[in-house]
Amino acid sequence: MKITAVDFFYLAMPEIRDIGDGSQDALLVRVATEDGLEGWGECEAAPLVSIAAWCCPMSHSACKPVSHSVLGWTIDTPDDIRRLTHEVRRQSFDLLQADHTLSGVDMALWDLLGKHRGEPTWRLLGWEKAYAKQAYASQLFGDTPALTFALAQQVRAEGFTAAKFGWGPFGQDLSADEAHVRAAREGLGDDVRLLVDAGTIWGEDVELAAARLPVLHECNVLWLEEPFVSGALHAYAELGRRMKPPLRTAAGEGSHEPHMARNLIDFGRVGYIQIDAGRIGGLTSAQEIARYAAAKNVTYVNHTFTTPLALSASLQPFAGLKDHALCEYPTQSSALAQTLTTGGPKPTKNGEIRLSDQPGLGVTINLETVRAYVVDTEIRVKGQALYKTPRI
Amino acid sequence: MKITAVDFFYLAMPEIRDIGDGSQDALLVRVATEDGLEGWGECEAAPLVSIAAWCCPMSHSACKPVSHSVLGWTIDTPDDIRRLTHEVRRQSFDLLQADHTLSGVDMALWDLLGKHRGEPTWRLLGWEKAYAKQAYASQLFGDTPALTFALAQQVRAEGFTAAKFGWGPFGQDLSADEAHVRAAREGLGDDVRLLVDAGTIWGEDVELAAARLPVLHECNVLWLEEPFVSGALHAYAELGRRMKPPLRTAAGEGSHEPHMARNLIDFGRVGYIQIDAGRIGGLTSAQEIARYAAAKNVTYVNHTFTTPLALSASLQPFAGLKDHALCEYPTQSSALAQTLTTGGPKPTKNGEIRLSDQPGLGVTINLETVRAYVVDTEIRVKGQALYKTPRI
């Protein structure tokens, strides 16, 4: 099957607020073959920039637009998709944003090949079974400890057995942080797992992070996520050495190619490696890390804060890893994200998520939602339209 | 001085060829303050994508366009520029391409502040003296060993005391590679330093790279550049262990923030760290690595394959490091790059380059060249022009 068309749809809420909610916009990718088959994927964040990386003019031999490699490529087997990843990275080597653009394209190709074969994507990826994952409710801290407490109680009432709080006010003031973590633990009760996300607030300052270890230990927190920026491998390793079990570091969402994630495992000594399939290069690159993590006794977890399409995609790469049993489930997503699909993974009453047996990613795009939120976009160079929002 | 305007100019040769020459296009940045002062900088590669990262709509609180942080910022001291780097990285954290856009803006700000103070940028950066550097002629391998030999002879005749050959046919076939390296050495003679650039051709395959070590040792090659992709830290460390002095690994041009370069030093154990100021975040981030490298006994070198503006900028961050004495000097650049500036660093007859005492980056932009090569570009979102090529 030759890839004959790739269309990008930039979707956004009417108003984008200055908050941590990553589901306020989305870049959908639709891939079509000469046989009329379609697959859908999604790139994480900054839709306009990833569109530009698709359609920009060539700068030189190692800085070509992603479209150069993708259009006309033939996809008949999983290895054809894997070879395309290699080709994009070779041809678009100096184009930084290319990894994010590739992510959505790769996702769409795995969806397409699954639909073509009548198989769920996780099976095409080589997994025999899709194990149930324990969904953790992923949300921002409340503005006050009292609000954090209320959010925690609500999560518990909804049946989640794990919850993560992050960003918002966290990381600026030690005693406020302690109050938030204790409020979260109190609201969840002792039997719900608690995870904390610092959103890289401490840069690479080990002592600032270490000051929070007592309250994290006291409240039986499972992981401290992104105390530092992704590249601060020394800081990750040092903080990890000071943690007492079960507390471990978690990081990796910023990885835009597999080596960055491997280096966090090998040199940063993280306990959990969190991969955003919409950034690292799609399912191909994400699964490379899932297998690597498993071999190194590091737990793989998806990073997802956007739509059910991205969620389904992000679960495929580690579906068959029984012992990697946690998964991120965004609980505060926008109307756009909530109405974009029918189907898509949902937690059961006891907080479990299992991927379906439906072909591809098992998600149907609601075209009405696409039409309602699509952002009219045009890029012109030398009088020629390199990109124009496609009709839907 | 408040930053009131930042203009991007996308320049390109009329025809972009599918070759390694990175000087076929350029993204110029002009920064202006309310007082009417101007500074110029340059972002490396994919101009359209870096423009999009400047002007795109916000996705969420950690994914804002670079313009969000820059416009309205006040610059009176070097530390004001350094704080802006921190601010851009915080506000545009999830926008991958932001680092490349920041690079050109940061460069332009150092130029501007130098002009404002009547000081060369290297002095503002804290260096007491700008030491002469030994320029190495940087070029692609010839298509055949005979052509490589001819290029090497020419470089020697021009007075260069060091030369690098890279990319082109290199890395695919062992005996062809051996012939090219021997031809280069023969053409240069014994007294000109020889450097080899593999352009990441071997991915992370240590054995493929190691197969070239005998000929590199035989021909007294000083460094083997980018045998692997930037992130393959294990592979760098392993290959480095198998090298005999003076041969060492060189890498780092792909670093788009300082941690990537630090990790190549700390974990990849490179002998030379090569920083492209047009990618890593500008002079601020580049100098951070220059100082780090000096402290770790790793040699800092600029990576530059574009215009004299980029060359002057790339030399400032390590101008005061006497022992870091090599610098890259592109010898095959395009007509665009050759005519873009007056002033700019030029090697003396004995192959040395010294930065001038002129204010800022010491380079004047030829507006005629900008007008001749500017690429008319427009980006429209929701019916509004977010970017339109400015008048010049």
Closest-CA distance of chain A to residue B340, Å: 17
Of A295, A361, A364, A305, nearest in space to A334 by CA: A305
Structure tokens belonging to residue B197: 């650039």
Of A47, A142, A100, nearest in space to A332 by CA: A142
Instruction: Identify whether the C-beta of residue A329 lies closer than 8 Å to the C-beta of residue A158.
Output: no
DSSP code, position B40? E
Sequential DSSP letters for A22-43: TTSEEEEEEEEETTS-EEEEEE
What's the pLDDT score for residue A331?
85
Of A70, A225, A47, A61, nearest in space to B97 by CA: A47
Domain ranges in chain A?
A: 3-120+367-388, 124-365
Does the beta-carbon distance from A233 to B381 stay under 8 Å?
A: no
Instruction: Identify whether the C-beta of residue A289 lies closer than 8 Å to the C-beta of residue A89.
Output: no
Q: For chain A, report the end-to-end CA distance as a whole number of angstroms.
A: 23
B3-119+366-388 belongs to which CATH class? Answer: alpha beta
Query: pLDDT tens digit string along A180-231?
Result: 999 999 999 999 999 999 999 999 999 999 999 999 999 999 999 999 999 9
- Rounded to 10°, the helix A283-295/A98-117 angle is 90
- CA distances B33 to B2, B36, B118, Å, are 5, 5, 16
Smallest Cβ–Cβ distance between A61 and the set B19, B61, B375 belongs to B19
Rounded to the nearest integer, the mean pLDDT of chain A is 97
Location of structure tokens 């198989």: A119
DSSP code, position A142? P
Instruction: Identify whether the C-beta of residue B119 lies closer than 8 Å to the C-beta of residue B357.
Output: no
Instruction: Identify whether the C-beta of residue A275 lies closer than 8 Å to the C-beta of residue A252.
Output: yes
Instruction: Identify whether the C-beta of residue B280 lies closer than 8 Å to the C-beta of residue B247.
Output: no
Instruction: Identify whether the C-beta of residue B36 lies closer than 8 Å to the C-beta of residue B3.
Output: no
**Residue B349 φ then ψ, to 5°:** -60, -30
B308: helix, strand or coil: helix
Of the residues A13, A61, A306, the best mutation for testing chain B's interface (the one with the most B CB atoms within 10 Å of its CB) is A61
What's the pLDDT score for residue B365?
98
Instruction: Identify whether the C-beta of residue A196 lies closer than 8 Å to the C-beta of residue A223.
Output: yes
- CA distances A211 to A3, A173, A214, A337, Å, are 53, 10, 7, 37
State percent of chain A over pLDDT 90.
95
What's the pLDDT score for residue B189?
97
Does the beta-carbon distance from A378 to B378 stay under 8 Å?
A: yes
Smallest Cβ–Cβ distance between B231 and the set A55, A62, A259 belongs to A259
What's the pLDDT score for residue B69?
98
The CATH T-level fold of domain A3-120+367-388 is: Enolase-like; domain 1 (3.30.390)
Instruction: Identify whether the C-beta of residue B316 lies closer than 8 Å to the C-beta of residue B361.
Output: yes
B380: helix, strand or coil: strand
Of residues B280 and A305, more confidence is placed in B280
| β-strand partners of A50 | none
What's the pLDDT score for residue B302?
98
Does the beta-carbon distance from B94 to A377 stay under 8 Å?
A: no
Q: With bands split at pLDDT 50, 70 and 90, how would you rate the model's confidence at A318?
A: very high
Distance, in Å, from the CA atom of B334 to the CA atom of B312, rounded to the nearest integer, reads 17
User: What's the burial of B391, exposed, middle or buried (CB within 10 Å: 0-12/13-18/19+)?
Assistant: exposed
What's the pLDDT score for residue B352?
95
State percent of chain B over pLDDT 70.
100
pTM: 0.97
Statement: residue A246 has pLDDT above 90: yes
Correct CATH for A124-365 of 3.20.20.120, 3.40.50.450, 3.30.365.10, 3.40.605.10:
3.20.20.120
ipTM: 0.97
| β-strand partners of B3 | B33
Q: With bands split at pLDDT 50, 70 and 90, how would you rate the model's confidence at A351?
A: very high
What's the pLDDT score for residue B196?
98
Statement: residue A168 has pLDDT above 90: no
A125: helix, strand or coil: coil
Of residues B220 and A350, more confidence is placed in B220
What's the pLDDT score for residue B225?
98
List chain B residues with pLDDT less than 50: none
Instruction: Identify whether the C-beta of residue A390 lies closer than 8 Å to the C-beta of residue A378.
Output: no
Q: In chain B, which residue's Cα lies nearest the Cα of A20?
A: B61
Residues near A97 by Cβ (< 8 Å), separated by ≥ 6? A46, A49, A50, A52, A53, B46, B49, B53, B96, B97
Distance, in Å, from the CA atom of A328 to the CA atom of A340, rounded to the nearest integer, reads 19
Does the beta-carbon distance from B231 to A381 stay under 8 Å?
A: no
Amino acid at B215: V
Alpha-carbon torsion angle A367, A370, A372, A378, nearest 10: -130
Q: Which residues of B touch A53 (CB under 8 A)?
A: 46, 49, 97
- CA distances B273 to A28, B265, B293, B294, B318, Å, are 38, 7, 7, 10, 12
